[in-house]
Amino acid sequence: MSATATLLDAYCIRAATGTDAAVNEAVSALAAKIPLNSIGTTLQSFVSAVPQVVAAIDTARSDPDNLYITTSTEGDLANAVWPGNGSPGTVGSGQTQLLGVSVPVDRVQNVSLWDHDDVSSDDLLGSIRIEEAERGEGPIARLATSSVEGSLYYVTYRVD
């Protein structure tokens, strides 16, 4: 008989950044494309500070994630196991979202957290791997993270 994992909650340590990773990369690459020595120190100082400014703006905005959870590595709100009503839940940094959803575990089960976007493709916030061998160990917390999105979540679950 296969196991069942009950997803208890998701604690958001840090919500995804509000800036696009491609924009951050383009800004970071900007200094390599401008001959700063011939332009002057004012522009050089500005270009050097831009990545920190982007990070500060993003921190100040602290937009919550439009969270949904799938058991696959494909983001699609229609396939969400949580919240499962066709709309995402909202969670911000320092907040816990109660889940209370069960998923089957046949040896290993992937659980992925997503940020739903209306105007672009959804962003993967991180994934965890639940193993059938964890049955009976009680509540377990695993870190789900995305270096691209800058998100950090702990997902708590138990396997019965």
Give the mean pLDDT of 5-33: 69
Which token pair is 135?
Answer: 């049955």
Residue 44, pLDDT > 60, answer: no
Predicted local confidence at residue 70, as pLDDT:
97
Average pLDDT score, the chain: 81
Same domain, 115 and 38: no
Confidence band, pLDDT 50/70/90 cuts, at residue 51: low
Residue 35, pLDDT > 50, answer: no
Sign of the CA dihedral with 10 first, then 12, 24, and 31 last? negative
pLDDT in tens, 62-104: 689 999 999 988 888 999 999 988 899 999 989 999 999 999 9
Same domain, 84 and 102: yes
The SS3 assignment for 104 reads strand
Same domain, 47 and 102: no
Same domain, 76 and 121: yes
25 is in which domain, residue-wise?
Answer: 21-61
Same domain, 25 and 13: no
Same domain, 142 and 73: yes
Same domain, 79 and 150: yes
Same domain, 93 and 121: yes
pLDDT in tens, 124-145: 999 999 999 999 998 999 999 9
Predicted local confidence at residue 32, as pLDDT:
45
Same domain, 121 and 45: no
Q: With left for phi above 0 and alpha for psi between -120 and 50, is residue 150 left, alpha or beta?
A: left
Residue 25, pLDDT > 50, answer: yes
Residue 21, pLDDT > 70, answer: no
Confidence band, pLDDT 50/70/90 cuts, at residue 53: low
Per DSSP, helices labelled H in 4-160 are 21-33, 36-39, 41-61
SS3 sequence of the chain: CCEEEEEEEEEEEECCCCCCHHHHHHHHHHHHHCCHHHHCHHHHHHHHHHHHHHHHHHHHHCCCEEEEEECCCCCCHHHCCECCCCCCEEECCCCEEEEEEEEEECCEEEEEEEECCCCCCCEEEEEEEEEHHHCCCCCEEEEEEECCCCEEEEEEEEEC
Q: How many domains does the chain have?
A: 2
